[in-house]
Amino acid sequence: MSKEILSSNGEKLGEITLEKSVFGVEPNLHIMHLAVRRQLNNARQGSACAKTRAEVSGGGKKPWKQKGTGRARAGSLRSPLFAGGGVIFGPKPRSYAFSMPQKARQLALKSALSAKEAQVIVVKDFSAITEPKTKLMAQALKSLKVSGKILVIADTKAAENNYLELAARNIPSVKLLLPTNLNVKDILDADSVVITESAVKVITDMLS
């Protein structure tokens, strides 16, 4: 399958053939779901913590005698039955992370790229952005006719994309991503995916 290569001003510069094994597979919904769950779970802190009765300070003295008061037996005021006592089965620090096989992660990325293939726009580079100005980035996006949530996949450290990061960071609907940091959640979240020609090659090499 082929796509037009555009300049950041929207002019057609040529065509690029997208690898069918990367951008044209049958999307696997279950694998994509697992990949998004894994990404969200791995980002969780898991630092919630409540003290058990053993960890709450105090409660060493028996609050009242065992028999004769008419009250229930009590050995400690730090029992979960009392205010200020411990918590039964409360949260403890834990990891929510789970792993996926490498081939499954690659299939999830291929599935996401294939599902968004119609919204993919390939640009030569962002060399037209010669200053770190938001206005230049906004003009480039208008020329490319993209709107909504925009994911830009480009090597921001390359000379031709020198000012891309600074020009884009004040536009809330734009997210920049290095091709090596590609992930399923950001691809599926985006309404339009703008990829530079060099990034297409990196992604194809990575997933082929």
**Using one digit for the tens of pLDDT, what is the confidence trace for 140-193?**
999 999 989 999 999 988 888 888 999 999 999 999 999 999 999 999 999 999
| 31 close to 188: Cβ distance less than 8 angstroms | no
Domain final residue pick, 42, 67, 92: 92
CA-CA distance, 98 to 123, in Å (whole number)?
36
Please state, in angstroms and rounded to a whole number, the distance separating the CA atoms of residues 115 and 111: 6
Distance CA 179, CA 196 (A): 9
Place of tokens 């802190």: 45
* 34 in any annotated domain: no
8 Å CB contact between 76 and 59: yes
pLDDT band at 7; cut points 50, 70, 90: confident
122 with 178, same domain? yes
Residue 1 scores a pLDDT above 80 = no
Residue 112 and residue 10 share a domain: yes
Q: Name the pTM for this structure.
A: 0.83
145 torsion bin: left (phi>0), alpha (psi -120 to 50), beta (else):
left
Domain span at 86: 50-92
pLDDT tens per residue, range 98-107: 999 999 999 9
Give residue 5's pLDDT: 87
pLDDT, position 11: 83
